[in-house]
């Protein structure tokens, strides 16, 4: 009996030892990471962030202000491009976005959480070097952006609620005879400022016919400033949500469904009430309409009269 008890004790101890490292493999994530950087002004913090990012191997491909109190930097590197190239529609995750925001008189620096985005966009490859480089450049004070962190499994099948879109419910904006023609039309649509759109960046994914454009929006309920005014009300700003992506893959031009794209960066946003999804109910469709105008290089069709 003593020998049997001893065997059980050893077996239990072995299982405990094996289980311990497994706990470190599982992790939950939030959309954004608050940086350790501090500065007296948005400009000063932006300059600090640029220097730190470049020193850690990132290329700054674009920057703009979604409203008067926020600056957004968009960066990429070879590791991000590699995981993008290895993943279906991986161009959506070929960048990281950094926001510098004046939030009630206090300057905040934050950035999109690479592990969160990598999972939400169902990407392949190794995102760890990107996470480490972002942490080295900007620090990682805390993650934020959700009431409760989401697991990798939940993120890879993320949707806000039943009947709401998933990552692979992307929207086809246009189709052309070739990749080159698609690129040409998107560039023309951005250059002409269709639907209040502006070009923030372009990233070509090596070894593929895949290019992602960052698009800032300024018209109506699709406008970046409108979204920020209505729902960016938490203590830490979600300004790194912007800008939106238009992805050229072969001869197609696509974008993420607006409801998915907003929800993944505000996963705890309520459905009803002030500062809720209902307060921006027209925005997802309006964003799609604006991006379609860019993709087709034509003005939006006027809404049909109800009279």
Token pair recorded at residue 100: 């510098």
In a domain, 172, yes or no: yes
Q: Is the peptide bond before 259 cis (omega within 30 degrees of 0)?
A: no
Give me the pLDDT at residue 302, please.
Answer: 66
* Structural domain of 284: 30-146+157-296
In a domain, 152, yes or no: no
Specify whether the CB–CB gap between 127 and 134 falls below 8 A.
Answer: no
d(CA 290, CA 196): 8
Domain count, the chain: 1
Burial class (CB in 10 A: 0-12, 13-18, 19+), 125: middle
Secondary structure class of 213 (helix, strand, coil): strand
Burial class (CB in 10 A: 0-12, 13-18, 19+), 61: middle
Residue 225 contacts by C-beta under 8 Å, 6 or more apart in sequence? 66, 67, 218
Specify whether the CB–CB gap between 51 and 187 falls below 8 A.
Answer: no
Give me the pLDDT at residue 104, please.
Answer: 87
In a domain, 18, yes or no: no
In a domain, 186, yes or no: yes
**Residue 199: strand pairing partners:** 215
In a domain, 208, yes or no: yes
Give me the pLDDT at residue 109, please.
Answer: 98
Indicate which CATH number applies to the domain containing 243.
Answer: 3.30.310.70
In a domain, 2, yes or no: no
In a domain, 118, yes or no: yes
Nearest CA to 222 among 248, 200, 240, 244?
244
d(CA 242, CA 225): 10
Give me the pLDDT at residue 15, please.
Answer: 34
Q: Give, to the nearest 10 degrees, the angle between helix 128-138 and helix 78-85.
A: 150
| Per-residue model confidence as pLDDT tens for the chain (307 residues) | 444 344 444 333 333 333 333 333 348 999 999 999 999 999 999 999 999 999 999 999 999 999 999 999 999 999 999 999 999 999 999 999 999 999 989 999 999 999 999 999 999 999 999 999 999 999 999 999 999 999 999 999 999 999 999 999 999 999 999 999 999 999 999 999 999 999 999 999 999 999 999 999 999 999 999 999 999 999 999 999 999 999 999 999 999 999 999 999 999 999 999 999 999 999 999 999 999 999 999 988 765 433 3
- pTM exceeding the 0.85 threshold for the entire prediction: yes
In a domain, 9, yes or no: no
């Amino acid at each position: 009996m003593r020998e049997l008890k001893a065997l059980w004790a050893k077996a239990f101890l072995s299982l405990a030892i094996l289980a311990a490292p497994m706990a470190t493999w599982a992790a939950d994530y939030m959309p954004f990471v608050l940086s350790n950087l501090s500065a007296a002004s948005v400009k000063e913090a932006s300059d600090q962030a640029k220097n730190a990012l470049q020193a850690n191997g990132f290329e700054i491909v674009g920057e703009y202000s979604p409203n008067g109190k926020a600056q957004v930097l968009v960066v990429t590197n070879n590791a991000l491009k590699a995981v993008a190239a290895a993943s279906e529609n991986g161009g959506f995750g070929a960048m990281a976005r950094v926001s510098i925001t004046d939030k009630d008189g206090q300057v905040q620096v934050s950035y999109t959480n690479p592990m969160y985005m990598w999972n939400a966009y169902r990407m392949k490859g190794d995102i760890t070097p990107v996470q480490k480089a972002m942490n080295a450049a900007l620090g990682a004070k805390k993650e934020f952006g959700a009431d409760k962190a989401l697991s990798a499994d939940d993120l890879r099948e993320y949707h806000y609620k039943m009947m709401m879109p998933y990552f692979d419910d992307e929207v086809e904006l246009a189709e052309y005879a070739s990749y080159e023609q698609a690129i040409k039309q998107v560039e023309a649509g951005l250059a002409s400022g269709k639907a209040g759109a502006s070009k923030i960046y372009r990233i070509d994914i090596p070894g593929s016919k895949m290019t992602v454009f960052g698009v800032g929006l300024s018209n109506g309920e699709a406008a970046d400033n409108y979204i920020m005014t209505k729902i960016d009300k938490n203590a830490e700003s979600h300004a790194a949500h912007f800008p939106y992506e238009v992805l050229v893959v072969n001869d197609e031009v696509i974008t993420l469904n607006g409801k998915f794209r907003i929800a993944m960066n505000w996963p705890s946003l309520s459905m009803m009430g002030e500062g809720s999804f209902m307060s921006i109910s027209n925005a997802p469709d309006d964003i799609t309409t604006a991006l379609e105008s860019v993709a087709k290089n034509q003005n939006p069709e006027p809404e049909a009269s109800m009279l």
